[in-house]
Amino acid sequence: MVTPKFDEHDRRKVISEVEKHFGVSLSRSGSRRKALASEEGKSFWIFGGYDNWHGIPPDMIKEEEKRNTDGVLVVAKRYAKRIDVYAGPLKPMIEKKKSLSQTKKGDYQFNIHIRGNHLFIKEIPDLSLPKLGAAVYSGDEKGSDKKLNEIKSLIDKMSPDERKEFIKGLSDDQET
């Protein structure tokens, strides 16, 4: 059986929830999908998965140490029909990075456990992230999002004349 993965559709759903909650617009900060920033430059690290462990590339920690944005740590736990989103201060993770285990490649790792409406980082026991909410996101909804993205991608590849013809064809189909 294939192990489900937290993918870009899940990540976009979580980013949307975080943007609504904090009233910000987030964009990538550097090359990492996990590292985002608000318009004001505040860091938002977004981790997500079905499992209870997560990895942090060392360059993300170095960058945050340099910038010191008083950022936000977001951890999303994916279930079959929903994604629970937790958020709290990023600073304790940076300050206590030595408590995290490191892989041979140098990536930092942390494990989570959830009690009630709080997510705890096992390696940093005094770091607790309260639950922001749950995003309902079933397999059917995710499938629809994937199909919509495929259609958008196909339309983006069309020339302006092809797009006009395509839209005209859709319009003609609606009238019949």
Q: Is 29 left (phi over 0), alpha (psi -120 to 50) or beta?
A: beta
Domain count, the chain: 2
Domain range holding 147?
140-175
Q: By the 8 A CB rule, do 124 and 113 touch?
A: no
Evaluate whether residue 58 is within a structural domain: yes
Q: What is the pLDDT of residues 139-148, one digit of tens each?
A: 656 556 666 6
Look at residue 104 in the predicted model and tell me its pLDDT.
93
Q: Which residues contact 147 (CB under 8 A, 6 or more apart)?
A: none
Evaluate whether residue 23 is within a structural domain: yes
Look at residue 129 in the predicted model and tell me its pLDDT.
97
Extract the tokens encoding 6. Answer: 């937290």
- Inter-axis angle of helices 139-156 and 8-22, nearest 10: 100
**DSSP classification of residue 47:** E
Evaluate whether residue 126 is within a structural domain: yes
What DSSP string describes 57-124?
A: -HHHHHHHHHH----EEEEEEE-SSEEEEEEEESHHHHHTGGGSEE-TT--EEEEEEEETTEEEETTE
Look at residue 165 in the predicted model and tell me its pLDDT.
80
Q: Phi first, then psi: what are they for 101, rounded to 5°?
A: -80, 160
**What stretch of H or E contains 129?**
strand 124-136
User: Which positions of the chain have pLDDT values less than 50?
Assistant: none
Extract the tokens encoding 160. Answer: 């302006």
Look at residue 48 in the predicted model and tell me its pLDDT.
94
Q: Are residues 168 and 117 in the same domain?
A: no
Q: Are residues 131 and 152 in the same domain?
A: no
Look at residue 19 in the predicted model and tell me its pLDDT.
97
Q: Are residues 71 and 155 in the same domain?
A: no
Q: What is the pLDDT of residues 44-56, one digit of tens each?
A: 999 999 999 999 9
